[in-house]
Amino acid sequence: MYENISYEIVKEGVGLLKINREKVLNVMSLETVKEIKSLIESKLQKEDIKALIVTGAGSKAFVAGADIKQMKEMSRPEFRDYCEISHGNLNKLQDMEIPVIAAVNGYALGGGCELAVACDIRIASDNAKLGFPEVKLGIFPCWGGSQRTSRLIGPGKLKELIFTGEMVDAEEALKIGLVDKVVKQEDLMNEVFSMAEKICLNSSLAIGFAKEVINSGSEMELKEALRMELNQGVECFDSEDRVEGMSAFLEKREANFSGK
C-alpha cells in the first residue's frame, strides 16, 4: 500500500511503523507524511495492538529530517500544509492510548527528532545523533519540537540546541533527558521489542489511563492535575482489568487482562 513507510505486527500485540527511505536517510517528504497520516487514520486507529514501535530503515538514520529539496520549492501555503499534516501525525501518536516507543537507530534530526519526542519512550543506539539544525536553513523546528522538547528537557537546554543547530550524541542525549536509554546498535531492536513485550503483559486499560493523565496533567496547574489523577484513578478502578489483576496477584498466577 505504501512506498515510503511500512507497517506490520511483528509480535503479538506489537506494531512496527518504519520510515522506509534508507537511501535518503529516511527523510520525511510530503508524500511520506501523507502516508503516515493515512496509516494512522485507516489502520492504527482500528488495530488491536498494545504497543507501537517507530523506527527508520537501516542502521544510519531514524529520520534525518524533513525533505529540504522539496521544501525549498514550496510556497507558503504548501509549507503550511506540510506542517499541518506533520503536526496532526505527531499529535495523534502522542494521544494514542497505547505506548509508542521510538527506536532511534542513527540520525534523528529536525523533523526526525520531533517525531522521536512525540513518542512516549525513546531508546537510542550508541551511534545515534539528535538535534535541531533548522536554523542553519533559515527556519526553526515547527512540527511540535519547540514545545514538546521544552517540556522534556527544559527551555534552556532546548534553546542551546536550537540556537546553535548542533547535534548531540547518544550519551549526551541521555544525560539531558532527550532519550531514555542507550544500547549498542546491534542490540537496539531486541531491547525495544523486550520493552514492548513487558508492556503488553500489563493492563492496556490502566496504561491508557496513565498515559492520559501524564500527558494532560503536564499542561495543568498541580492541584487541577491531582484532582484529574484521582478521578481517573477511581474510573480505572471500576474495571474488569483491576479485578483480574488483583485476583491474579492474590492467587499467585499471571494476570490475563482483557483491556476492559
Enclosing domain of residue 33:
5-200
- Indicate if 98 and 10 belong to the same structural domain: yes
- Indicate if 104 and 25 belong to the same structural domain: yes
Q: What is the pLDDT of residue 44?
A: 78
- Indicate if 194 and 218 belong to the same structural domain: no
Residue at which a domain ends, from 182, 200, 218: 200
Q: What is the pLDDT of residue 45?
A: 67
Is residue 260 domain-resident? no
Question: pTM of the entire structure?
Answer: 0.93
- Report the chain's mean pLDDT, rounded to a whole number: 94
Dihedral angle sign, alpha carbons of residues 129, 192, 155, 173: negative
Is residue 259 domain-resident? no
Q: What is the pLDDT of residue 223?
A: 94
The CATH number given to whatever domain includes residue 108 is 3.90.226.10
What percentage of residues in the chain have a pLDDT greater than 70?
99
- Indicate if 87 and 214 belong to the same structural domain: no
Q: How many domains does the chain have?
A: 2
- Indicate if 94 and 126 belong to the same structural domain: yes
Q: 59, 73, 95, 93: which is closest to 29 by C-alpha? A: 73
- Indicate if 19 and 102 belong to the same structural domain: yes
Alpha helices in 49-169, H assignment, sequence order = 68-72, 76-95, 111-118, 145-153, 155-164
Q: What is the pLDDT of residue 193?
A: 96
Cβ distance 53 to 11 under 8 Å? no
Average pLDDT over residues 220-244: 94
Q: What is the pLDDT of residue 210?
A: 96
Give tens-digit pLDDT for 49-101. 999 999 999 999 999 999 999 999 999 999 999 999 999 999 999 999 999 99
- Indicate if 241 and 181 belong to the same structural domain: no
How far apart are the C-alpha atoms of 258 and 260, rounded to whole Å? 5
Average pLDDT over residues 164-193: 97
Is residue 255 domain-resident? no
Is residue 257 domain-resident? no
Residue type, 173: A
Give tens-digit pLDDT for 7-17. 999 888 899 99
Q: 94, 120, 127, 129: which is closest to 196 by C-alpha? A: 120
Q: How confident is the model at residue 46 (pLDDT cuts 50, 70, 90)?
A: low
Give tens-digit pLDDT for 117-171. 999 999 999 999 999 999 999 999 999 999 999 999 999 999 999 999 999 999 9
Long-range contacts (CB closer than 8 Å, 24 or more residues apart) made by 237-244 = 239/203, 239/205, 239/206, 241/203, 241/204, 241/205, 241/206, 242/203, 242/206
- Indicate if 214 and 90 belong to the same structural domain: no
Other CB atoms closer than 10 Å to residue 153's CB: what's the count? 17
- Indicate if 208 and 196 belong to the same structural domain: no
Q: What are phi and psi of 256, to 5 degrees?
A: -120, 90
The CATH number given to whatever domain includes residue 220 is 1.10.12.10
- Indicate if 235 and 132 belong to the same structural domain: no
Sheet holding 121-125, edge to edge: 5-11, 14-19, 51-56, 100-104, 121-125, 181-183
**How many residues appear in the chain?**
260
- Indicate if 146 and 192 belong to the same structural domain: yes
Q: Give the residue numbers marked as catalytic.
A: 114, 134
- Indicate if 103 and 209 belong to the same structural domain: no
b/e map 197-216, b = 16+ CB within 10 Å: eebbebbbbbbbbbbbbeee
